[in-house]
Chains A and B, each alone.
Chain A
């Protein structure tokens, strides 16, 4: 494509805060201009990069709109297009690059001004996109292509994992595929290890695909770098998954904080949670066993009296605890310490996927995820502090992936859970989150504001859109883009890891070629071939 083909129009008005109005030139059709596309604006001294966020129609005279001319005549239609009737579109500027050598080396910078009047506006070319997002290399990972373009959008994964990130979207819009792609990227390009709480058994061995055969997941692509832990051995075996460890949790591992998190799902009262803390103070680690052992007797009455727990509160609590006891992976005493096992793997650079098997109900997920995370986080915290103190190596950066994140991070509990803490304190202790959710409005505002990079598929609930875009500059414009995403395989990414927001189509996942690209075997095969050639020629040269 030449510059001429890419030409769209000229800048006619605008401001930095509200964006720039561009009038379409005669040759370009307004129907070819779509929101989410990238444009470059050629100012006098610098170039600007922006995204089309709105498209509209204009007439020079209202009488024309009231008495429409006869456009069935192609001549009249051709004359009026671009003159009396014209297309306008709105561009939000994001980046700028100066014309001199120094600023070219510096690369694109956040925009602080606007292009001058009547600057030419062109569709961004593949080179422009590459200039902004960089090329795929040892740190950058190709996640997809901008809408209607061939260029690759690359994410700097080292940067990405330094902060907590979020993936949002309605159910069925491709969150899981996107997450899988991102996890593959982390396995391939970053030094971080992952711990995935896999509620629907999608990330470990194989994942489902609507209207097609299952797709390979992490373990099949990265055999040596992934371990699958399971809560439900029978289910895993039935699905043909080779698991590395079966998780069992002892009563004594459950702490009052876990109960606080489960208050809503177990239908417990505030007072019941207070009672849990009282019981914990009284019985210590064995509080759960002790509470379950309490019979309806005078002694119990006396005990409750002593702990200032009301009878009805205790009954409420007991019902809740019975629910927990019913979970098959909970045992009075766990045979092995699962936290140590996980940490063991993580230390060796092996990523852990924890499958929940049949136990997909929220109680199990919240309980296990929170409990494990709290203890792993405590370990990381201790190790990082030790490393800071004596200068030894810090633990490997850890990314914890959680689904249904609003259960852990809603405003009611975000202050208490470890997840809330990780999200807020960010990378201080080398632990970050990858939050996956379909109702972002349910997540605490403070947590949302701390997420570094957000990737969002289609959302149509007004509150969800608002919460995802809260605090982003130019949010009303992004809102227009977000609301117009296709319901499948399109997403918008913005935040820390990308220089400017971009609507993109995630790269293909599910074909044999894509697998080999992800697992890097293609790369290795290429290297092997190179090596073979070298040896061959080296040998022949010697003989």
Chain B
């Protein structure tokens, strides 16, 4: 679905091959650095012009629909790009899953894939990634991100409610001294 264009130890940025073909917020994606598979949570996404200094201009005044804007200016599809940031939460080495950061960041131009439900389920067996998400500095509030991620993971579970309760309990421990943040997350993941 995309390719890594910027990478650091804790996160990487990938660009989508197709404009607007972004993975949903909080979904799980994976990439590969030779032998090591990296798993991450989509934590932010942007669509902007190719050149950083150049902002797109409004073109719809004489068009009937939004679609028509793109049809009359086909170059737009090439001048714009969709990118998403991923927080690295786990990695797999020699077939074994580790719920912490990999030894090296992802390589530029590594392909990025959406995780299939089976892998989502496997990843959600440990809730350690919640700590990573809570402590990340992001444009999106961590509560929103965690809630989105848990909703996403919940869909892969057989017993969705039990999973959400277990995750909620973990959060209650992590956010023991911040009841308001806890309340914000719980309000967003209610089954």
A residues neighboring B (CB under 8 Å):
26, 60-61, 63-64, 67, 69, 73, 75-76, 78-80, 82-84
- Residue of B with least CB distance to A65: B179
Contact of A84 among B164, B165, B182, B190 (CB under 8 A): B182
Which residues 149-191 of B have a CB within 8 angstroms of A? 161, 164-165, 168-169, 171-173, 176-180, 182-183, 186, 190-191
Q: Which residues of A contact B169 (CB under 8 A)?
A: 26, 79, 82-83
Given known A75-B165, A78-B165, contact A83–B173 (CB-CB < 8 A): yes
The answer to whether A75 touches B168 (Cβ under 8 A) is: yes
A-B residue pairs, 4 tightest by C-beta: A79-B168, A83-B172, A60-B176, A64-B179
Given known A75-B191, A76-B186, contact A69–B179 (CB-CB < 8 A): yes
Q: How distant is the Cα of A84 from the Cα of B179 in the complex, in angstroms?
A: 8
Q: How far is the CB of B131 from chain A (nearest CB, A)?
A: 15
A-B contact pairs, 7 of them (CB 8 A): A60-B176, A60-B177, A75-B165, A76-B186, A79-B169, A79-B172, A84-B182
Given known A78-B165, A83-B169, contact A73–B176 (CB-CB < 8 A): no
Q: How distant is the Cα of A69 from the Cα of B168 in the complex, in angstroms?
A: 14
Best-buried of A69, A80, A84 by chain B (most CB within 10 Å): A84
Q: How distant is the Cα of A65 from the Cα of B131 in the complex, in angstroms?
A: 25
The answer to whether B161 touches A75 (Cβ under 8 A) is: yes
4 extra interface residue pairs, beta carbon distance < 8 Å, beyond A79-B186, A84-B182: A61-B178, A63-B180, A76-B190, A83-B173
Q: How far is the CB of A76 from chain B (nearest CB, A)?
A: 6
Q: How far is the CB of A175 from chain B (nearest CB, A)?
A: 49
Q: Which residues of A contact B168 (CB under 8 A)?
A: 75, 78-79
Given known A73-B190, A75-B190, A75-B191, contact A63–B165 (CB-CB < 8 A): no
- Residue of A with least CB distance to B177: A61
Contact of B179 among A63, A78, A82 (CB under 8 A): A63
Tell me the interface secondary structure of chain A in the complex. loop
The answer to whether A69 touches B183 (Cβ under 8 A) is: yes
Q: How far is the CB of A24 from chain B (nearest CB, A)?
A: 14
Q: Which residues of A contact B176 (CB under 8 A)?
A: 60-61, 83-84
Q: How distant is the Cα of A63 from the Cα of B177 in the complex, in angstroms?
A: 9
Which residues 38-60 of B have a CB within 8 angstroms of A? none
Q: Which residues of A contact B164 (CB under 8 A)?
A: 75
Q: Which residues of A contact B173 (CB under 8 A)?
A: 83
- Residue of A with least CB distance to B179: A64
- Residue of A with least CB distance to B168: A79
Which residues 69-125 of B have a CB within 8 angstroms of A? none
- Residue of A with least CB distance to B173: A83
Q: How far is the CB of A163 from chain B (nearest CB, A)?
A: 52
Best-buried of B171, B172, B182, B191 by chain A (most CB within 10 Å): B172
- Residue of B with least CB distance to A26: B169
Q: How distant is the Cα of A534 from the Cα of B188 in the complex, in angstroms?
A: 77
Given known A73-B190, A75-B165, A78-B165, contact A61–B172 (CB-CB < 8 A): no
Q: How distant is the Cα of A527 from the Cα of B172 in the complex, in angstroms?
A: 63
Q: How far is the CB of B151 from chain A (nearest CB, A)?
A: 13
Q: How distant is the Cα of A80 from the Cα of B169 in the complex, in angstroms?
A: 7
- Residue of B with least CB distance to A62: B179
Given known A73-B190, A84-B172, contact A79–B179 (CB-CB < 8 A): no
Q: Which residues of B contact A63 (CB under 8 A)?
A: 179-180
Q: Which residues of A contact B182 (CB under 8 A)?
A: 84
- Residue of B with least CB distance to A82: B169
